[in-house]
Amino acid sequence: MLSGVMDYGDHIVVSLRKTHKTTRCPTCGRRIRASKESYPRIIRDLDIGPKQAYLSHYKDKPDRHCGYRGYERLDFAEQYSRATIRFEEYVYRLCLNLPLKSVCEIAGIDWKAAKNIDIHTQKRIEDLRNISPKRIGVDEIAYEKGHHYLTVVRDIDLGKAIWVGLDRKSATLDMFFEDLGSEKSALMEIVVMDMWDPYILSVRINCPKAEMVFDEFHVIKKITGALDKVRKTEFADADDDERKLMKHKRFLMLKRRKRLDHEELETHD
């Protein structure tokens, strides 16, 4: 479970703590008591916004059982990996579409790490032919200055990236649905994305029965933009006295009513 988050400016470290004192034996699968021997690990995870994210945790050594003498195995990371499984799969998807140098710049890793991930991850990656996603998340990421983007599709239930395409056009997302197949696309239930018109168009064409869910940030951005437009129109039509009252009130209008103090509340009304 989560026990703390430390923000270091350019990266975040999330500390994890065990909820029980037992661990699973990698040999027989039984839950047994963990020994007092453990060691700390910090591994790379998927970015949180513009910041690199790391997971900090202790890896325990089970009491001797079934002859196994090593450390416990975790569901979210391979035995000797310095990154989570989902981060490795994300890097692998990037390697399918971009040169290694661009992958390193986007993921924030060196070329050797990217190459190793590319080689070792392909044998466990999810093939679209073997899955039928019902809920997906669609997002774009910039991989180079000058409006160069990638479209990343994630399976919400699997918790992993399942497809990456160059650009963020409607045709880009169309390629994902084409790779997935029309039958599986028709079964799509939910698509989570921002309010990017090309994505909306693609979803409406390829899976018209799916419910589109827009993230809160972009909804608020649209509402704020509409409110600003109305405010500017009213300000332009106001006389001098009214303009004095309206001046410097932009953020007051955007502030939640319950957070206004007495003076702000009177001004707001």
The CATH number given to whatever domain includes residue 139 is 3.30.420.10
34 found inside a domain: yes
User: Quick one: pLDDT at residue 137?
Assistant: 92
Structure confidence by residue, pLDDT tens digits, 170-181: 999 999 999 999
Q: Per-residue pLDDT averaged across 143-151, rounded?
A: 75
User: Quick one: pLDDT at residue 1?
Assistant: 62
Q: Which residues of 119-152 are buried (b: 16+ CB within 10 A; e: fewer)?
A: eebeeeeeebeeeebebbbbbbeebeeeeebbbb
67 found inside a domain: no
192 found inside a domain: yes
User: Quick one: pLDDT at residue 34?
Assistant: 66
Tell me the residue range of the domain where 113 lies.
83-125
Structure confidence by residue, pLDDT tens digits, 156-202: 998 888 888 888 999 999 999 999 999 999 999 999 998 889 999 99
Q: 143 and 184: one domain?
A: yes
Domain boundary residue, one of 62, 94, 111: 62
Q: 135 and 210: one domain?
A: yes
Specify the range with the lowest mean pLDDT, choosing from 4-18, 113-127, 131-145.
113-127
Could you tell me the CA-to-CA distances from 154 to 11, 70, 138, 183, 190 in Å, in that order?
A: 23, 34, 7, 19, 12
Could you tell me the CA-to-CA distances from 46 to 90, 93, 159, 161, 243 in Å, in that order?
A: 8, 13, 11, 10, 48
pLDDT above 90 (res 50): no
Q: 27 and 49: one domain?
A: yes
CB atoms within 10 A of CB 96: 13
Nearest to 60 by CA among 68, 52, 51, 70: 70
49 found inside a domain: yes
Q: 56 and 105: one domain?
A: no
Q: 23 and 34: one domain?
A: yes
User: Quick one: pLDDT at residue 121?
Assistant: 73
Band of the pLDDT at 230, cuts 50, 70, 90? Answer: confident
pLDDT above 70 (res 252): no
User: Quick one: pLDDT at residue 202?
Assistant: 96
Question: What is the C-alpha separation between 11 and 69, in angstroms, rounded?
Answer: 35
Q: 95 and 140: one domain?
A: no
Question: What is the C-alpha separation between 151 and 171, in angstroms, rounded?
Answer: 11
Domain boundary residue, one of 214, 232, 258: 214
Q: Per-residue pLDDT averaged across 231-252, rounded?
A: 68
Q: 50 and 25: one domain?
A: yes
